[in-house]
Amino acid sequence: MKKLTLVFIFSLCILSCTEKKKENKDTASRGAMAHSVGKINELSVVIDNDLWKGRVGDTIRKYFGAEVPGLPQVEPLFSMRQMPNAAFSGLARKSRTFLLIKKGKKKGYITLKNKFATPQNGVVISGTENEIIELIHKNHETIVSNYKLTETKEKHKRIKKSLERIPQLSEKMGINLDIPSAYRVAIEEDKFFWIRKEITNGSMDLMIYELPLGTIPKDSNTVSSIIKMRDSIGAVKIPTSAVGNFITEEAYAPYLYETKLDNRFTFETKGTWEIKERFMAGPFVNYVIEDVPNNRLLVLEGFVFAPSIAKRNNMFELEAIIKTIKFN
């Protein structure tokens, strides 16, 4: 009887150890999930060729290849890489963002987080052609917003790998920003900073300054007030030799949005700057942050000068930098 008891206990121990090893193996497998791949703002569209060439493909291009607001030339929200369902395997499954389209009788819309890699944001839409088009139309704003959030987080991660230390921002402006090491302070004053990065045939620039609280009204005059404010600052602070001033492009009204940065109400304005007499122009994004605790408006503006080249990802980097802001 004693032998039987010992055998039984021994068997339980072996079973327990085996299950524990299996559990540890599964945990290790999940923890070792491959890192996602892809360029910033690159979207993998998994859809069979016949659908891609038809109405479904047209709908995808309409919403995910839509023009980025505020750029001087037409550039899409995402650089789309199409592949048929059969090709969605191996490395292709590790795309950071993907849109998977399945034609069939079952209508469905699901989101997948870190399904094949991490970080990863995937969306699967299925049904008949009409149902797929309907689901894309209904959900495209949410999908685009989530994709952009994923890309911003990825950009922040890349920025943090090599940061430029600018303690003066904390000392003089009361803020902290994650700024890549490729940027340098061009002008530093008591309440004004111009920080820039040299790129091929141009530059990426960031201005930071403050205004009295209430300078920008929350009414029908908001856009005109922001234009007047940035034009007056640009004319004084941005050197353009003796010809022309750094002003907002007059032909088209900027795009205005409301958002929050570090839990503070913010006006976000996107448009085009120009120096007329020098035939220079480029995109800008301007954030006016309502900093009530410090009784001020804090303004951060990113702009790019890079003639004849795409600027979407340059502007995306400047936006990502600004969105790291933390107030002391």
Query: Tell me, what amino acid is at 34?
Result: A
Nearest to 52 by CA among 93, 91, 77, 87: 87
When pLDDT is cut at 50, 70 and 90, the band that residue 279 belongs to is low
Q: What is the topology classification, in CATH, of domain 168-327?
A: Protein Transport Mog1p; Chain A (3.40.1000)
Q: Pick the range with the lowest mean pLDDT from 203-212, 215-224, 228-237, 286-295.
A: 228-237
Predicted TM-score of the model (pTM): 0.86
Boundaries of every domain in the chain? 42-159, 168-327
pLDDT digits (tens, 9 = 90+) for 209-218: 999 999 999 9
> What six digits make up the tokens of 133?
């088009």
> According to the model, what pLDDT value does residue 240 have?
66
Q: What is the pLDDT of residue 310?
A: 93
Peptide bond into 119 cis (omega under 30): yes
> CA nearest 314: which of 21, 17, 95, 41?
41
Q: What is the pLDDT of residue 281?
A: 81
Q: Which amino acid is at 146?
A: N
Closest CA to 228 of 182, 286, 183: 286
> What pLDDT is stored for residue 277 in this prediction?
67
pLDDT computed for residue 8 by the predictor: 42
**If you ran DSSP here, which 8-state letter would residue 121 be given?**
E
Mean pLDDT over each residue of the chain, to the nearest integer: 89
CA distances from 311 to 46, 69, 180, 226, 236 (A): 26, 12, 18, 23, 25
**Which stretch of 217-231, 244-258, 301-315 has the lowest confidence by average pLDDT?**
244-258
> Is 90 exceeded by the pLDDT of residue 36?
yes
Residue from 50, 57, 42, 133 nearest 94 by CA? 42
- Fold (topology level) of 42-159: Chitobiase; domain 2 (3.30.379)
CA dist list (Å): 169 to 157, 172, 184, 290? 21, 5, 13, 18
Topology match between the domains 42-159 and 168-327:
no
The whole-number pLDDT of residue 253 equals 83
Q: How confident is the model at residue 244 (pLDDT cuts 50, 70, 90)?
A: low
Q: Give the mean model confidence (pLDDT) for residues 100-113.
A: 96
Strands (E), the chain: 42-46, 79-83, 97-103, 108-113, 121-127, 175-176, 184-188, 192-199, 202-212, 247-248, 255-261, 264-275, 280-291, 296-305, 326-327
